[in-house]
Structure 1
Amino acid sequence: MSAHLQGSLFDQADRPALGPLTGLRRTVLGDGAWIDVLPGWLSGGDALFATLADEVPWRAERRQMYDRTVDVPRLLAFYRDGDALPSPVLDEARDALSAHYAEELGEPFTTAGLCHYRDGRDSVAWHGDTHGRSSHEDTMVAILSLGAPRDLLLRPLRGGDTVRRPLGHGDLIVMGGSCQRTWQHAVPKTAHARGPRISVQYRPRGVR
């Protein structure tokens, strides 16, 4: 699949490389939920984006919505525990996250889900990753963002203010604690011109 991403003037590295995770900054959301954010964790992401856009076996899905079936407004791919990831730097990212959060999480990140937002019309609705153990256990979901900037929104299930986190090329966000159970997140549609974006979501075993 071909996707046009305008290269970043500020990211001129020849190959993708990860920085240290020591720059992560945590925001406590409430109800036992938190997020860690690290802008620019990955540099040299233009070539990686092109590789993922062209070589990942993307699939389009359709979903039942009330009385009709609709297209899911993004393309998807999923790599199970033990599957070869489409780029070595994605293995490096998973291993670095597993090492960094080993004491707090108590287990490694094992799977990788990928979403391809082709333009501003693609989106994901409000949801929590509550399929599996995350429906009743604290866990973590780490998201590496590539391509055009998009906002990630978070809102508490009990009601309250929405938290907005813009995610750009190479940025990392980790949602932890009770975040998947007590908060929801979304990537809304936007009317402004937006290029393509790919997100890579790392999860532990049994979390979807």
Structure 2
Amino acid sequence: MLHQQTSLFATGAPVLGGLDRLRRTPLAHGAWIDVLPGWLSGADDLFAELAAEVPWREERRQMYDNVVAVPRLLAHYGPGEPLPDPVLAEARDRLGRHYAAELGEPFVSAGLCYYRDGRDSVAWHGDRFGRGATHDTMVAILSLGEPRPLLLRPRGGGEPARKVPLGHGDLIVMGGSCQRTWDHAIPKTRASVGGRISVQFRPRGVA
């Protein structure tokens, strides 16, 4: 088992910081990202709690002639379902208030992905099921545990991929047309990395 590296400010009871330090980066085609490093202190202890207590499931999908395991573990909490730690409900609600003028609706669901080590990954994709396929929307991701790079690139290419390292309580919000006009991925790595959990907050009808 890999040793889980911890950050100096990532242990202890989980506490959210302010959102005033969010920094926006405009992307092409009407997309943008907001990034806030270390929004949640105590993130590593929360990672350990969620890794041990969330009812993770392994999905399988058809790949050509074989059925293969999706290389990460998943959990989902829909509208009205209690989240596995109160700080996640607080994060969802605070993000909803912060982005109320732009988004026009609250974040209502939380999807969790557990990347157990460098072999776990997610391929290039956008959250284009439901309204995200046709309308501007937002997806906010709170990252717990070891940093892994989130890569972003425009659909169809045209410029090099951008790399945003995320871990230890970092926050990224993808907004505008980002889900329709850009793709994102967490690549595999041969480096010895510990686990990472991403918590994705979404509005109604975005998946």
TM-score, shorter chain, exceeding 0.5: yes
Alignment of 1:109-124 (within 5 A): 109-124=107-122
Query: Pairwise CA RMSD of aligned residues?
Result: 1.4
Match among 6, 14, 23 for residue 21 of structure 2: 23
> Could you tell me which amino acid in structure 2 is paired with residue 163 of structure 1?
R
Compared CA separation, residues 129 and 12, structure 1 to 2 (3 A): closer
Q: Whole-Å Cα distance in 1 between the matches of residues 29 and 142 of structure 2? A: 24
Give identity over the alignment, percent: 69
Q: Whole-Å Cα distance in 1 between the matches of residues 3 and 131 of structure 2? A: 37
Classify the secondary structure of the residue corresponding to 1:151. Answer: strand
Match among 78, 83, 90 for residue 88 of structure 2: 90
Compared CA separation, residues 26 and 76, structure 1 to 2 (3 A): same
Pick which of 161-170 and 90-99 moved more.
161-170
- Verify the 8 A CA contact 2:121 2:187 in the aligned structure 1: yes
Give the equivalent residue in structure 2 for 1:200: 199
Q: CA deviation at 1:67?
A: 2.0
> Could you tell me which amino acid in structure 1 is paired with residue 65 of structure 2?
D
User: When the two structures are superposed, what TM-score results if normalisation uses the length of structure 2?
Assistant: 0.96
- Runs in 1 of length 4+ with deviation above 4 angstroms? none
Q: CA deviation at 1:168?
A: 2.0
Q: CA deviation at 1:152?
A: 0.2
Give the equivalent residue in structure 2 for 1:70: 68
Q: CA deviation at 1:69?
A: 1.1
User: When the two structures are superposed, what TM-score results if normalisation uses the length of structure 1?
Assistant: 0.96
Alignment of 1:1-208 (within 5 A): 5-8=4-7, 10-11=8-9, 14-160=12-158, 161-208=160-207
Q: Whole-Å Cα distance in 1 between the matches of residues 69 and 88 of structure 2? A: 28
- Verify the 8 A CA contact 1:3 1:54 in the aligned structure 2: no
> Could you tell me which amino acid in structure 2 is paired with residue 124 of structure 1?
V
Q: Whole-Å Cα distance in 1 between the matches of residues 168 and 188 of structure 2? A: 18
Classify the secondary structure of the residue corresponding to 1:23. Answer: coil
Q: Whole-Å Cα distance in 2 between the matches of residues 66 and 13 of structure 1? A: 43
Q: CA deviation at 1:12?
A: 5.7
Q: CA deviation at 1:119?
A: 0.2
- Verify the 8 A CA contact 2:10 2:168 in the aligned structure 1: no
Structure 2: stretches of 5+ with no match in the other structure: none
- Verify the 8 A CA contact 1:60 1:71 in the aligned structure 2: yes
